[in-house]
Structure 1
Amino acid sequence: MIDNRSGKGLSFVRRIYLPRTIGLGIGLFSVMAAVAPLQPPTWVWVLMLLNGLAWPHLAYQWARRSAQPYSAEQRNLMLDSLCGGFWAAAMHFNPLPCVTILSMMTMNNVAAGGKRLVIRGLLAQLAGMLLATSLLGTGLQLQPTALQVYACLPMLTLYPLALGWVCYQLAIKLAEHKRRLSALSRTDSLTGLLNHGSWKDLLLLRFQACRQQHTPAVIALIDIDHFKTINDTFGHVVGDCVLRQLSHDLRRNLREDDLAGRYGGDEFCLILPDTDLGQACLVMERLREQVGGYRNPQLPTLRISLSIGLSAYGPALASPEHWLDDADKALYAAKHQGRNQVNFTHGEAAALKLAYPD
């Protein structure tokens, strides 16, 4: 919901404050120059000064302290439009200052609320004009003086700059929010690693790169041994801590270009580019030993071990799914042969023996 005390409502109020302060402050000169030749009563001058100098700050405090800041600020924008229409009629529709004031307020409504707020603003301006004509009478002042032209110049130059700066800052914030949302959509909330879908997408890209550029790469599937027993014995809070600990160890052991993800549950997945099977095996053995040596003084009986399946890219692989399936078979073999070990398929074992003879 937009109307809230700590989120978008207050942000909206703060965003409007600067353009209103600058716009009404410099717009005061335009109105004074246009109204002065008409010799209005004293109360008009007092109202003019209050509207130009005091109202921006009163409006800000009024909306900021409101239970619904967003709605309160929209009300303030309608009062701005009402006053704009009032001053347009009070200056007897002097073309240059009148168009300057009303167009700048309409620009503000467009930036703040789009079409709906523009329509409401136009109705408020019309109401302001009717109010002014009923109090001050009607008339037309169609020839602006040189003083009135010069008085409008600050409004025509400074106010668009202020509004543009606010819109630029908003665009920067939106881009940052978009970047954060994109990152959140690609990561696992518990571990901070890539989620299943994002990792699979990157696996496809790596597979295509290996095929086109003939570069080596290894994928690894990692399973925490007896993770269900850990959850059942120590509770799910400890289980989550184990998952976070493994993700932390992965970051410590991997290079910047290596891609780690949470495949699901207690299973993790890695893409190790520009790596052969022997190098991957050494890295995974180091990880397995590091995790196996983890001890928690508060849980002395807690032990963590890993079963790891490796699969190196080969030109015979028909698809990323086949590559992943080979790693899954190697993981299954590691678990079937007693767990707490690194394993790979028979064909890769032979290739490894040739590359790294005893």
Structure 2
Amino acid sequence: MENQRGKGLSFARRIYLPRVIGLGIGFFSVGAALYPLTMPSWIWALLLFNGFAWPHLAYQISTRAAFPYQAERRNLLYDSLCGGFWAACSQFNPLTTVTILSMMTMNNVAAGGHRLFVLGALAQLAGVLLGWAIFGFKFTLITTQAQVWACLPMLTLYPLALGMVCYRLAIKLAQHKRALSTLSRTDSLTGLLNHGAWKDLLHLKFQQCRQHNSQATLALIDIDHFKVINDSYGHIVGDAALQQLSKELKSLLDEYELAGRYGGDEFCVILPTLPLSKAEMLMEQLRETLQQYRHPQVPELRVSLSIGLARYQNAYKDALDWLDDADKALYTAKHTGRNTVSVALSRSSPSDASQFSH
């Protein structure tokens, strides 16, 4: 309910400025057409109200309504009704009629698409019938020079105002789309890439390494005994450990080194251009930093990491081979004492992995 009201208020704010500009300069377009005719004073009072008071009243009505979006759509139909009425009052002066009705129709299409276009056309027809009922069925097919000049601001300024509103809306939609795209690729707890997004990047990096014969290192990182941490201290403390690891990864890696949460307590990193020796040093730095972490409510908690590394090799058939070697290296680290970095050797080597222990 509150979200719908917020969207309705945003809609009313977008309509407000174009309505102020459109009806304000529309006053002069209609006034120039009415001036040669013998019209009662109440028509001029109504035209003044419609041109300069109604835009602000309509905004107050919509923003104070329980359902602002619906109220604003009704206001747009009132605008169309008045447009048809002024067309009939001006005895269908060609330029004035086309200017007023076309601008209002454009506004309806921009605000509500096909449905509001149809409803707006019906409202315009109702306004025409009301004007005919009061002043009779009359036509004036001559447009004076003064009327041409009076319509020019409407034909130039109003489309500009409406265009600016549409442009700002398009910018906001693009920003929301980018934000949604980021959310769909990001792990909500850690702010790192999620499993699917990281796997996509792994396949992309594998293809780049193959095409350009470049080097890169893949790291899989696991928090030792993470289930015990959750069972002993609770999931809030466990989540804090995951967030601390992600924080350290973000500070340690540069913009080209891509980290993700692979699942549960397992993290993954692609280190492009880094030779294996430097990748080892970087992961050692991460392991040592996490050992220094102390949770403020659980000072006795110690966090250690097991890390498996695999450098890119031409022998890999696909990215999954690369990932499998890193996983084997991680398995070696976890089953040889944990709190260590293990490095997968070349596939031509008789051994699957060697250990770099501490």
**TM class, shorter-length:** over 0.9
d(CA) in 1 for partners of 2:296, 2:133? 83
Unaligned 5+ segments in structure 1 are none
Counterparts of residues 252-271 of structure 1 (less than 5 Å)? 252-271=251-270
Conserved? CA contact 2:186–2:192, under 8 Å: yes
1:324 alignment partner in structure 2: 323
Asked whether 1:206 is paired with 2:205, we answer: yes
Aligned counterpart, 2:62: 63
State the distance in 2 between where 1:256 and 1:21 align. Answer: 47
Aligned match of 2:5: 5
In structure 2, the partner of 1:340 is: 339
Amino acid at match of 2:4: N
The CA deviation at 1:2 is 9.5
Residue 288 of structure 1, CA deviation = 0.3
Paired letter, 1:31: V
Q: CA deviation at 1:345?
A: 2.5
Q: Give 1:319's aligned amino acid.
A: D
Alignment of 1:244-259 (within 5 A): 244-259=243-258
Q: Which residue of 1 aligns with 2:175?
A: 176
Give the corresponding residue for 1:98: 97
Matched ranges for 1:16-165 at <5 A: 16-165=15-164
Write out per-residue CA displacement over residues 308-358 of structure 1, whole angstroms, 9 at most, x where no aligned residue: 00000011111100000000011011111111110022448979x9xx9xx
Structure 1 residue 298, shift from structure 2 partner: 2.2
Aligned residue pairs total 352
Quote the Cα distance in structure 2 between the aligned partners of 1:346 and 1:151: 82
Shift of 1:144: 1.1
Q: Distance in 1 between matches of 2:104 and 2:255?
A: 51
Partners of 2:265 and 2:120 lie apart in 1 by 57
Normalised to the residue count of structure 2, the TM-score between the two structures is 0.95
- Secondary structure at 1:4 match in 2: helix
- Distance, in Å, in 1 between the alignment partners of 2:111 and 2:78 is 14
CA distance in 2, matches of 1:316, 1:153: 72
Q: Which residue of 2 aligns with 1:289?
A: 288
CA contact (8 A) 1:199 1:261 kept: yes
SS in 1 for 2:254: coil
Give 1:259 deviation, angstroms.
Answer: 0.2
1:239 deviation in Å? 1.1
> Partners of 2:132 and 2:50 in 1: how far apart?
18
How far the C-alpha of 1:211 sits from its partner, in A, is 0.8
Q: Deviations over 1:115-158 (max 9, x none)?
A: 11000000000001111111122211110111111111111111
Contact 2:222 2:266 in 1 (8 A): yes
Q: Please give the secondary structure, in 2, of the residue aligned with 1:309.
A: strand
In structure 1, what is the Cα distance between the partners aligned to 2:296 and 2:253?
A: 27
Distance 2:234 2:38 in 1: 82
Structure-2 separation of matches of 1:116 and 1:256: 48
How far residue 188 of structure 1 moved from its aligned partner, in angstroms, is: 0.7
Runs of 4+ more than 2 Å apart: 1-6, 345-351
TM-score normalised per structure 1: 0.95
Shift of 1:3: 7.3
CA RMSD of aligned residues (A): 1.8
Q: State the percentage of identical aligned residues.
A: 65
Tell me the amino acid that sits aligned with residue 335 of structure 1. K
Hey, what does 2:310 align to over in structure 1?
311
Task: Extract unaligned runs of 5+ from structure 2.
Answer: none
Which residue identity is paired with 1:175? A
